[in-house]
Chain A
Amino acid sequence: MKRQSDRFRRPLLQRGITLIELMIALTLGLLLSMGIGAIFVNSSQAQREYHRMAQQIEDGRYAMDVLTQDVHHAGYYGPYFKLPGPLAAPDPCAVSDASSAISNALPFAIQAYSAADYSSRPDLSGTSCGTWLPDANLLPGSDVVVVRRADTRALTIGSTPTANEVYLQVNPVQGQVQFGAETPLTAASTANGAAATVLKRDGGAADIHKLHVHVYFVAPCSVANGGGAVCTGANDDRGQPVPTLKRLELTAVGGVTTMNTVTIAEGVEAFQVDYGIDDSPAAVNDLTGSIGDGAPDRYVGAPTAAEMPNIVTGRLHILTRNRERSSGHSDTKTFELGSAGTLGPFNDGFKRHAYVAVVRIINMSSRREIPS
């Protein structure tokens, strides 16, 4: 009881506060909460910005990793090295070997379609790529690069090739393009179940590798409005189109050989390649059976069809940007993408990074190394 009466009495002892006191308290409180609010907004913005940056760097790193690995292996056809003499520039999107369209393309480990400047598209006329690469799917200013190689793993005996997938049966001096049939491989068969004519030294069927034909390009969007493979315009990627590095892959979809569009990395805005051409000495060397010495003699941005089989290195340039705009940022930098010249300033809210890597196309260049 005594405690309760104490409690009753104590509030009565508390004095009220004056209006001045209240106002000072309010002002101080407001100032403090404004400060705290500003810190909160700042750090949340910084965190979002950091996230965008990390995403962009990861996009660039991944794109570069995929490109360098693939270009590094260009011209790998298992043990097959006696490639046919190069003819005219082949059709990179050939899906049948009619008139040897795929077989005769093998010497073109790297095939280039170069954009003349940053506002024009590479010229793909004369190829059958238009179905998958109409103008709407090509961002102006980026190169189209074709990489041809075999998979590094050979199929094992007993495994089943995929129907109409393109395979290469190879020994050192012969290479045969084959379309898969769903028959398990035997020690004497081709990928389509026939009797092999490309043999190993011991008379058994030679190894069968999957043939990769990759056509790299930069598309103006990642996911097209409606989900198709071809970009449609401003409504792609939920109204904010993100330029994206993609590639066409020669593969079989539902038993039909076709080129399939595969997304590699978002945020890649420009892709430019300079090619290291090795054509000196110009005389065919007796020991290597080809011209050159394995080292690039010069770099060109737009090689001719005659120069393409002599490409031994590639200098890859990519420019990536954030997927979203950063508020209050204006991009005033210019970017150097090799022989194509500088790009920018863009003067928009996107932050950008340029990447460059030099890749030795080991299969094409070491075949030309003259033994000392």
Chain B
Amino acid sequence: MSRHGSQRGAVLVISMVMLIALTMFVISMLYTSNTNLKVVGNMQAQRQLEAVAQKVVEDRISSLAFFEDAIAATGIWPTGTNTIVSTEQGFTVTVYRPVCNWTEPEEGSSALNPLVPEQTVWTVRVVATDPVTSGSADVSQGVRMRMRPDHCPA
């Protein structure tokens, strides 16, 4: 009877050990795939943020009013307003006031002309932040525009 009893125990113990070993394999595989999933998820979130930031940049530089308002300090850019925060596809998007970095008289124009158009170079900066992952993408785009003189605020 005692021999019978210990044999039953051995079966139980061996099967438990085997089960634990197999479970370990499965757990390790789950862990690996979970880590991979997180890595890929992060990359996807990052790319999405970059795309949103780039889209907002393209939207903004397509509108002359965006720059005209900054020059005249009216409309969307009154004096003192340096950022516009909005929500785009669930992300928080901060648009910075465009900065005029450079201006020079248009090549090929006569300097004697009182209204020489100028080539101005602007920087438009947009930061997109994901409130869930708190990742962010910071995109600065340079824009060159032909402007009337004195249209590049310092």
Contact = CB atoms under 8 A, between A and B. Distances in A.
Given A58-B36, A172-B121, A200-B101, A11 B2 contact: yes
Interface string B64-102: 000000000000000000000000000000000000111
B39 A58 contact: yes
B32 A57 contact: no
Contact of B104 (A39, A61, A173, A366): A173
B1 A201 contact: no
Q: Is the interface of A mostly helix, strand, loop or mixed?
A: helix
A202 interface: yes
A44 B102 contact: no
Given A81-B142, A171-B102, A40 B18 contact: yes
Contacts of A79: 101-102, 121, 123, 142
A72 to B, nearest CB: 9
Contacts of A36: 14-15, 18
Is chain B's interface secondary structure helix, strand, loop, or mixed overall?
A: helix
A50 B154 contact: no
B28 interface: yes
A348 interface: no
Nearest to A37: B18
Nearest to A360: B54
A3 to B, nearest CB: 14
A50 B142 contact: no
B129 interface: no
A34 interface: no
Contacts of A366: 141
A43 B22 contact: yes
A14 B5 CA distance: 13
A89 to B, nearest CB: 27
A14 B21 contact: no
A21 to B, nearest CB: 13
A50 B32 contact: yes
A65 interface: yes
A40 B26 CA distance: 12
A170 to B, nearest CB: 11
A51 B144 contact: no
- Chain A interface size, as a band, is 20 to 34
Interface in A2-55: 10-11, 14, 36, 39-40, 43-44, 46-47, 50-51, 54
A43 B154 contact: no
Given A50-B29, A79-B101, A81-B142, A57 B36 contact: yes
A204 to B, nearest CB: 12
B115 interface: no
B22 A39 contact: yes
B13 interface: no
Contacts of A173: 102, 104
B50 to A, nearest CB: 9
A201 B98 CA distance: 15
B43 interface: yes
Nearest to A13: B1
Nearest to B121: A172
Contact of A47 (B14, B25, B102, B103): B25
Nearest to A39: B22
B12 interface: no
A43 B29 CA distance: 10
B111 interface: no
Contacts of A39: 18, 22
Given A36-B18, A40-B22, A47-B28, A201 B40 contact: no
B33 interface: yes
A184 B36 CA distance: 43
B29 A61 contact: no
Contacts of B121: 79, 81, 172
Nearest to A287: B146
17 contacts: A11-B1, A11-B2, A14-B3, A36-B15, A36-B18, A39-B22, A40-B22, A50-B29, A54-B33, A65-B43, A79-B121, A79-B142, A81-B121, A172-B121, A201-B100, A201-B101, A287-B146
Given A10-B1, A50-B29, A61-B43, 13 more contacts: A36-B15, A43-B25, A51-B29, A51-B32, A54-B36, A58-B39, A61-B40, A79-B142, A171-B101, A172-B102, A172-B121, A173-B104, A201-B101
Interface of B: 1-3, 14-15, 18, 21-22, 25-26, 28-29, 32-33, 36, 39-40, 43, 100-104, 121, 123, 141-142, 144, 146, 154
Listed from nearest, the 10 A-B pairs whose CB atoms lie closest are A172-B102, A47-B25, A172-B121, A54-B32, A43-B25, A50-B29, A36-B18, A54-B36, A43-B22, A201-B102
